Amino acid sequence: MRPLDPRLLRYARSIRVFLAAQTLIGLVTTACVIGFAAVLTRIVTGALDGDSLSVLGPWLGALVGVAAVRALTVWASETLSMRAAGRVKAELRGKILDATRKLGPSWLARRGSISVATLSGRGMDALDDYFAKYLPQLILTALVTPILVVVIWWQDWVSGIVVVVTLPLIPFFMALVGWATQSIQRNQWDTLGKLSRGFVDLLGGLATLKIFGRQHRQADRMRTITADYRRATMKVLRVTFLSGFVLELASSLAVAIVAVGIGLRLVEGNMVLSVGLFVLLLAPEVFLPLRNVGTNFHAAAEGVTASEDAFEILDAAAVLPEGAARAVLASADSATPGIAFVEVRAQHEADAPLAHAPLTATVAPGTLTVLSGPSGVGKSSLVGALLGFTDYVGEITRDGASLRGVPAGERDWLAWSPQRPGLTAGTIAENVTLGDDVPDPETLAWALETAAATDLDPARDLGVAGAGLSGGQAQRVGIARALYRQRRRNCAVLILDEPSSALDHATEDVLVQNLRALAATGVSVLVLSHRQAFLSGADARISLTPVSVSAAETIEVDA
Amino acid sequence: MSDTLNPAATATTSPTRTAVTTRDVLRAARPRGKYATGGLLAAIGSALSTVALMACSAYLITRASEMPPIMYLNMAIVGVRAFALGRAFFRYLDRLFSHEAAFRQLETVRVGLLERLLPIAPAGLARSRRGSLLSTLVSDVDEMQNLGLRVIQPLLTALGVSIVAVVGVAFLSPGAALGLALALILTFALSAWAISVVAARAERSLAPQRATLLDALVDYLGALDVLVAYGAEPAARARVDAADRALTNSLVKRASGTGIAAAAIALFTGVAIAIAMISAIPVLQEGGLSGPGLAVLALVPLAVFEVVANVPLALGAWRQVRSSAERIANATDAERVADVPAEVGLTELVPVADADLLTLSNVAIRHPGATEPALRIDALSIGAGESLLIEGPSGAGKTTLAHALVRFIDYSGSIRLQGVELSDLHPDTVRNEIGLCEQVPYLFDEDIRQNLLFAHDTATDRDLEVILDQVGLGDWMRERGGLSARVGERGALVSGGQAQRLALARALLHEFPVIVLDEPTASVEGDLATALIADLVNAARAHGRTVILISHADVAGDLFDRRLRIEAGALVSAR
């Protein structure tokens, strides 16, 4: 671990103000340390020389005064560090989310949304220790230590030599140990991540495990995982603590050598007590910030490792080109109204094999078109291509204009509901009117009715990821959301991915009739489904065939 | 179970089936054993060495300045060196032992929590938002290791060293000892006030704010595609930022509280020394105290307060540990726990002769925590090898029935399996006979093989491939690169239909005599669903097994011996 990762300075600019303020606090702290030692030395030597309390009174007042100033800087440093930590975390979190947005949903699915959430939540919180405990001490080390060394040298060059000789040993051993633990440290963070994923997975699957009578092993499994975690961590800690031991030993022994050296010179009359006492009081303070850096090294390391994970995401996003160039509009004469696919093959991942044969088809305005095909053939990937989330070969046009390069967030003409509705915390009404700053209650009521969801209370509160609704209910809220957007933005295209898979037939029939009615108003409605109700209710049908079956797709158009 | 050989045996181990209290969690988290004791002794040894090093150094140089023969200094010189070594050495041992103890205890906490959750899952768990659950059980359990490391040990060490130092100083000057004691008490009091009033006020809002932030992040990242497509991404992002700001605000307020406590240490160090000097200097001048004695009195408070500086941190850590323990305790819901069948009962099913496979009479089932039953069944009898379809609209109580049959929730009335009342049997025994294929199958973040093997761990790869072929996943599995292909976090890389097929494959592999299928075709495409159900029902019949299929959808064909319907919370005959 580097003391201060330059990428932190680059990615989190707010850190600079913090560094400046901490430097000021460091200077005041140094003055306090020297002042306290000088005043205390004056009091003790004065008392030994026979000064009365009345003579020493002002000095005692000064002692308490210096302590009070020191107290103030301690408080200021604490609050300032946390404020800085908050700013930097917010900045990094924001940048992670920006990067995630840029990298897109399919990258997120591979990376795992929970792991990114953990990194930007708990992972970034680990930076608190880095800012509150580690960095201030690092700055103090850079300020207090050299100034005190100069003062000690100026007062007593022999003690100065002892301090100067011992001091470099500390960063030397720290670097040595740090270099040795770096890879172990890295593994430990991975282990921790694996462990927390395992724990969450275990808790999520409790019911499943019980059904199969496998719950009894899980406690043992958890015990094994946790014991592995303990062993892995202790392996790191043994070495990490060794660096603490070296720091502690070097500083303790240096102070002891200084004390014994001063004692011996005092006894021979080569020194006066005031100098000896002053130097003795300053000596431990030289090592204190360095020792604190060492002590907090471990606490800070977790935050630094987490921030390295964050930097990886940021670096990955940084190499992606900024929004691709806008496609050129095709000439108006050749424009096909609606959506047209020409030899399109959607690719879920950049280097994944193509699952379906090239598709050439149109989704005309005013029709209910049903897209079907075997499970896993890439229907949802095709929709992803239409939405701008998924790479594809071939050409997709809307009213003759190519969709290539149009950012996903700028497809105003499109309303879509995915297979997994992707609901969020909030009321049903908030979910349905997603993306509308001024929700319209009339359209909301219409959307819920058209989605056959009149039984759901719009004011009902949902948990994270729409928790609290059954599969069928969530599905209808997702459909209502797409319908709401379609009507509010007058979208020309409505896409529903498996809208009725969790619905009963009566509800499904209502939905099909409502969608037919909507299509009749001139909207292109594309439904991905295999359900008989949709297949028989469709104006047009497109079937997507696996690549192995045939290169030729079939298009059947009913009257 | 160990006593399956004895047919009438009742399971002797009945895992605790009560809600967890904060006190339970804290008790489980308190490190014990030789590592904990060793760690505490080493910590006190290290702290005392710090104080002794300071006292010895002060004595050494002040005595030296009186220029006595060097032999009078030898003891002090040896002491300085020994305590310098001792401090570092004890500190190393302290950290090694106490971390080992803390991690060992973490093992107990994790496993203990899991053992408490297992018997009551899924019905007895509090309905928490997913993000909060993640936050609670992962980071809060981790937090428990700080109880020993950052709370108990520093407090005991500071207390021990304070007492020894005050007593030691009292030998030199009772007045200085009184001053030191007074300053220490004031420091403890001010720290406690700053930490438990100022910081605590902020701390209380911290946990919900962290959960809110994580919830906002989970929502944002979990629905990113939808948010982008709907142009709602900036609003969701603003929610994350607002949660972030609120959290930072509370963190700063808390830091202000801990800052006051840390400042108190710096201030009272000066005060303690000033009092010591005021009471000791007149005594020195009257000849009642030696010069080195005065130096010791002046310097010892520095070392004592260095040790005491850990007290505010410990008090802060205590608050965090306690609120984490509270949140862990809240993961279980006492009211719901009462509705979870106890993990006791006969471990061997001894069929009554001539009894039907399943007989339900006057059954009422209610949701956990609810007062009114969600489903009533007056009379229903199911024969071995029969295949039964139960239809009904969403929310009619179909899943409730499935959960009662596998003893996730209790029932009133009578459900008999081969003539034996389900509630007399151990739930594990029931679940060995009746298997449930969940509506939302849970897939573990492992490969396909692991997701199947846990249902039947002696199955060969060949067995797994045969089963996958039966559920129509054979080609899919081979295209994905075989059984070692991963299914992704929560089955993210598997479509809804494929997840259902995998779940069906698991149920088939486990060879349950009775299989309850809760909406197995909910996200399976229409043309394949019919074939899939046909495969399943036929295979089950060939093995003489019984299938209860619950669906809102019409299932075509004559696959089923009987069709029943749930309407308005009651079972009625088919149309």
Residue A14 is encoded by which pair of tokens? Answer: 């707010």
pLDDT of residue B281: 93
- For chain A, the average pLDDT equals 83
Q: Which of A284-293, A312-321, B257-266, B437-446 has the highest mean pLDDT?
A: B257-266
User: Does the beta-carbon distance from B132 to A280 stay under 8 Å?
Assistant: no
pLDDT of residue B12: 37
β-pair partners for B414: B361
Query: In B338-421, which residue ranges form alpha helices assigned H by DSSP?
Result: 398-405
Q: Does residue B350 contact residue B420 with C-beta atoms inside 8 Å?
A: yes
Strand order in the sheet with A540-543: A414-417, A493-497, A524-528, A368-372, A540-543, A554-556
Cα of A3 to nearest chain B Cα, Å: 23
User: How do residues B506-564 score in pLDDT, each as one tens digit?
Assistant: 888 888 889 888 877 765 555 566 766 776 677 666 666 788 888 766 666 677 888 88
Of A40, A108, A245, the CB nearest to B298: A40
Q: How far is CA B10 from CA A381, B337, B419, in A?
A: 54, 22, 18
Q: Which of A294-308, A339-353, A406-420, B58-72 has the highest mean pLDDT?
A: B58-72
β-pair partners for A393: A345
Residue B128, phi then psi, degrees to nearest 5: -105, 160
CA A386 – CA B534 distance, rounded (Å): 36
Q: How far is CA A296 from CA A129, A173, A301, B113, in A?
A: 8, 16, 8, 30
CA B339 – CA B483 distance, rounded (Å): 39
CA dihedral A111, A112, A116, A117 (to 10 degrees): 170
User: How do residues A111-155 score in pLDDT, each as one tens digit?
Assistant: 777 788 888 887 888 888 888 778 888 888 888 899 999 999 999
Q: Answer yes or no: is pLDDT of A354 > 70.
A: no
CA B263 – CA B546 distance, rounded (Å): 73
Token pair 């003893």 is at which residue? B407
Residue A351: exposure state from Cβ atoms within 10 A (0-12, 13-18, ≥19)? exposed
The percentage of chain B sitting over the pLDDT mark of 90, rounded to a whole number, equals 35
Of B134, B220, B259, the CB nearest to A97: B220
Of chain A residues 338-367, which have a CB less than 8 A from chain B? 353, 355
**What is the per-residue DSSP string for A480-545?**
HHHHHHHHHHT-SEEEEESTTTTS-HHHHHHHHHHHHHHHHTT-EEEEE---HHHHHH-SEEEE--
Distance of CA B443 to the CA centre of its chain: 21
CA A475 – CA A469 distance, rounded (Å): 9
User: Does the beta-carbon distance from A214 to B454 stay under 8 Å?
Assistant: yes
Q: Among candidates B323, B433, B426, B325, which has minimal Cα distance to B382?
A: B433
- For chain B, the average pLDDT equals 84
User: How do residues B212-259 score in pLDDT, each as one tens digit?
Assistant: 898 888 889 888 888 888 888 888 899 999 999 999 999 899 889 889
Q: Answer yes or no: is pLDDT of A210 > 90.
A: no
At A504, which amino acid appears? D
Mean pLDDT, residues A190-197 taken together: 66
Mean pLDDT, residues B427-445 taken together: 86
Question: Which residues of A are less than 8 Å from B284 in CB distance?
Answer: 47-48
| Residue of chain B with shortest Cα separation from A284 | B54
The residues, ordered by sequence, that sit 6+ positions from B521 with a Cβ below 8 Å of its Cβ are B500, B529, B532, B533, B551, B553, B555
Strand order in the sheet with A339-347: A359-363, A339-347, A391-398, A401-402
Cα of B24 to nearest chain A Cα, Å: 18
User: How do residues B151-197 score in pLDDT, each as one tens digit?
Assistant: 999 999 999 999 999 999 999 999 999 999 999 999 999 999 998 88
User: Does the beta-carbon distance from B264 to A101 stay under 8 Å?
Assistant: no
Question: Which residues of A are less than 8 Å from B110 in CB distance?
Answer: 199, 222-223, 226
Which H/E stretch holds residue A246?
A: helix A215-267
pLDDT band at A196 (very low <50, low <70, confident <90, very high): low
Of chain A residues 212-231, which have a CB less than 8 A from chain B? 212-215, 218-219, 222-223, 226-227, 229-230
Of B122, B134, B497, the CB nearest to A114: B134
Q: Among candidates B15, B20, B111, B27, which has minimal Cα distance to B327?
A: B20
Q: Which of A49, A226, A487 to mutate to test the interface with B (most CBs of B within 10 A)?
A: A226
Cα of A388 to nearest chain B Cα, Å: 9
User: How do residues B13-42 score in pLDDT, each as one tens digit?
Assistant: 444 456 678 888 898 889 988 999 999 999
Q: Answer yes or no: is pLDDT of A110 > 70.
A: yes
pLDDT of residue B526: 55
pLDDT band at B470 (very low <50, low <70, confident <90, very high): confident
Of A90, A223, A409, the CB nearest to B107: A223
Q: Does residue B123 contact residue B336 with C-beta atoms inside 8 Å?
A: yes
Question: Which residues of A are less than 8 Å from B133 in CB distance?
Answer: 203
The pTM assigned to this predicted structure is 0.72
Of B60, B294, B493, the CB nearest to A263: B60
pLDDT of residue A319: 79
Query: In B233-332, which residue ranges form alpha helices assigned H by DSSP?
Result: 233-285, 291-308, 310-329
CA B246 – CA B206 distance, rounded (Å): 9
Q: Is the peptide bond before B154 cis (omega within 30 degrees of 0)?
A: no
Q: Does residue A277 contact residue B61 with C-beta atoms inside 8 Å?
A: yes
Q: Does residue A100 contact residue B221 with C-beta atoms inside 8 Å?
A: yes
Q: Does residue A385 contact residue A106 with C-beta atoms inside 8 Å?
A: no
Question: Which residues of B are less than 8 Å from A463 in CB distance?
Answer: 127-130
Per 3-state DSSP, what percentage of chain B is helix, strand, and coil (rounded to 5)?
A: 60, 10, 25
Which H/E stretch holds residue A162?
A: helix A157-166
pLDDT of residue A43: 95
CA A62 – CA A64 distance, rounded (Å): 5
The least confident of A245-249, A350-354, B9-13 is B9-13
pLDDT of residue B195: 87
pLDDT of residue A353: 59
Hey, what domains does chain B have and what are their CATH numbers?
22-336 (1.20.1560.10), 358-573 (3.40.50.300)
Cα of B137 to nearest chain A Cα, Å: 8
Of B237, B298, B444, the CB nearest to A205: B444
Instruction: Tally A–B CB contacts below 8 A.
Output: 463
Of chain A residues 135-194, which have a CB less than 8 A from chain B? none
CA A102 – CA A180 distance, rounded (Å): 36
User: How do residues B57-114 score in pLDDT, each as one tens digit?
Assistant: 999 999 999 989 888 899 999 999 999 999 999 999 999 999 999 988 888 888 888 8
pLDDT of residue A349: 58
CA A354 – CA A358 distance, rounded (Å): 9
- Residue bearing the bigger pLDDT, B199 or B558: B199
Q: Which of A32, A106, A203 to mutate to test the interface with B (most CBs of B within 10 A)?
A: A203
Of B60, B268, B445, the CB nearest to A259: B60
The least confident of A284-298, B127-141, B305-319 is B127-141
CA atoms within 13 A on the CB side of A157: 0
User: Does the beta-carbon distance from B226 to A81 stay under 8 Å?
Assistant: no
pLDDT of residue B118: 80
Residue A99 is encoded by which pair of tokens? Answer: 């990067």
Question: Which residues of B are less than 8 Å from A56 in CB distance?
Answer: 277, 281
Q: Answer yes or no: is pLDDT of A476 > 80.
A: yes
User: How do residues B392-420 score in pLDDT, each as one tens digit?
Assistant: 766 667 778 888 999 988 899 999 999 99
Of chain A residues 464-523, which have a CB less than 8 A from chain B? 464-465, 467-468, 470-473, 481, 485, 498, 501-507
pLDDT of residue B8: 38
Mean pLDDT, residues B314-321 taken together: 88
SS3 A421: coil
Q: Is the dihedral of CA A541, A547, A549, A552 positive or negative?
A: positive
Which H/E stretch holds residue B421?
A: strand B420-421
Mean pLDDT, residues A392-412 taken together: 82
SS3 A397: strand
Cα of B383 to nearest chain A Cα, Å: 22
User: Does the beta-carbon distance from A121 to B214 stay under 8 Å?
Assistant: yes
SS3 B481: coil
Token pair 């069948």 is at which residue? B341
**Given the DSSP bridges, would you call strands B562-567 and B570-573 parallel, antiparallel or unpaired?**
antiparallel
The residues, ordered by sequence, that sit 6+ positions from B341 with a Cβ below 8 Å of its Cβ are B407, B408, B409, B410, B423, B427
